Chains A and B, each alone.
Chain A
């Protein structure tokens, strides 16, 4: 605690509060902020559904209309926060940006445009239902209002980290991409579930696209998944860090959007892909 006698002439003008004069970096102060009150769930009935960029949207007519058709049905009974990935256009702009020597924060800023384009593609197809892509600048603050007024909303799944993106552990690719941005919305707003719609049945012990004998892992905790040290994951790796620090949303499910009926099943609480959960 703050010691008046150590600093009798504190010339800072304080507002009286629990954290008055405290260092927010102090371990004891920080620990004291846990569990003071039950966390509020702002949108407990909403589900976050991320439609993969490269895995689904980039396939165009081969994959997206079937999912839109399922979405039309489930939106009659579920409030959905839809998001999209940036797909191959993001991969392309990353490769050009890296070649030009641009930093991770710039790559993150550039990638937002690709996911936003895909959000608008999805929004064009869902517009008869009043489900549209919301500009990122207003999405977060107005989300509860939009969701109250329409059965669902769409945003570019990217978190607004942009120039403030963290440098990754290896190389230059922004670590917080659209899976992470979708999860973080759910965690902050206390949503009912997070479903990542991809083009594989879930998580395998090896990449099923290159290893035909790969085995599906239906359910796994973060620690066990880390211990497996898999070569690739079908979602943003940083999701594991985020799950470890989760307070409200303790799991997500990866499902195969090439079997679009699984989306309805997952929203009904069925286990139809891989569930990754906090330990």
Chain B
């Protein structure tokens, strides 16, 4: 039966993939090649859960005003974090001994609540909320309305991998948003949080924490910080990225920061592969 697909219709790569092993590194090197940017003008903007949305109106209204003000100039795929309710659900799940995959489902629900709230506040501008199954409509919404809202959790649910340490899903909303920006070859990946960017320690816990305006992934990994402003998995994925080799973390509580980041100005922390 395998012969059915081994004829002249196949490219050389096709023949090698049909016959070869996908664990063969030589064969995998044959799959390296140019990759199209699917949505090169879109910016992925992730609005933090605990850092922004859990603050309510005081933080959310100004950042959404800034989103709307930027619509004429920029296209935005807006992802949402989860926040304190995810921490509550994770705590209950940990107490009960539920596996990481179930916790991933719980985190998805919370980031979906946040996406719905952000969506309703942007609805008057015709901006939709899309679930993963609706992503094929994303290009139309970006072309017509210039933005769409999605929940940041990657849709791994029960297939979420265990972390090396602990039980909390390692691929959460920072990772999900990052992967959207990578797969679509987006123009930028901007994380909107409540700190000016990356510090040598969590500035909420350590008053002596020093701000880091610009750093490479290798340097950052070398520092081996106890805490980070983005999920560690994002750094691992950046090292393998085809397109999205930098991310920016900004303080969304400061008016104008999102606009500056969208304009490509040096604001917050830029983390890049090299």
Closest Cβ–Cβ distance, residue A263 to chain B (whole Å): 20
Residue in A19, A89, A241 whose beta carbon sits within 8 Å of that of B88 in the complex: A19
**Contact mask for chain B residues 43-82; partner A; CB cutoff 8 A; 1 contact, 0 none:** 0000000110011101100000000000000000000000
* A6 B207 Cβ-Cβ under 8 A: yes
* B33 A98 Cβ-Cβ under 8 A: yes
Supposing A91-B18, A160-B156 touch, asked if A40 and B99 sit within 8 A by C-beta, the answer is yes
B163 within 8 A of A: yes
A159 within 8 A of B: yes
Number of A interface residues in the complex (CB < 8 A) = 99
Supposing A58-B1, A103-B35 touch, asked if A171 and B29 sit within 8 A by C-beta, the answer is yes
| B217: chain A residues within 8 A (beta carbon) | none
Supposing A17-B87, A207-B21, A245-B161 touch, asked if A188 and B101 sit within 8 A by C-beta, the answer is yes
Chain B residues numbered 129-168 whose CB sits less than 8 Å from any CB in chain A: 132-133, 135, 154-168
A184 within 8 A of B: yes
Task: Report the bound CA distance from A92 to B34 in whole Å.
Answer: 18
* A188 B159 Cβ-Cβ under 8 A: yes
Give the residue among A11, A88, A169, A177 with the most B Cβ atoms within 10 A.
Answer: A88
| A36: chain B residues within 8 A (beta carbon) | 94-95, 97, 167
Supposing A27-B227, A103-B35, A166-B179 touch, asked if A96 and B14 sit within 8 A by C-beta, the answer is yes
How many chain B residues sit at the interface, stated as a range, is: 35 or more
Residue of B nearest to A27 (CB): B226
| A141: chain B residues within 8 A (beta carbon) | 105, 157
* A40 B98 Cβ-Cβ under 8 A: yes
B124 within 8 A of A: no
* B10 A30 Cβ-Cβ under 8 A: no
Of the 9-residue stretches A122-130, A146-154, A216-224, A230-238, which lies at the interface with chain B? A230-238
Residue of B nearest to A96 (CB): B14
| A98: chain B residues within 8 A (beta carbon) | 13, 31, 33
| B158: chain A residues within 8 A (beta carbon) | 140, 143, 184-185, 188-189
Task: Report the bound CA distance from A20 to B83 in whole Å.
Answer: 9
Apart from the given pairs A12-B50, A103-B185, 8 other A-B contacts in the complex at a CB distance below 8 Å: A20-B87, A30-B168, A34-B166, A91-B17, A101-B33, A104-B242, A173-B28, A190-B99
Chain A residues within CB distance 8 Å of chain B: 1-3, 6-7, 10-28, 30-34, 36-40, 42, 54, 58-60, 62, 88-89, 91-92, 94-96, 98-106, 137, 140-141, 143, 159-173, 176-177, 181, 184-185, 187-190, 207, 231-237, 241-242, 244-248
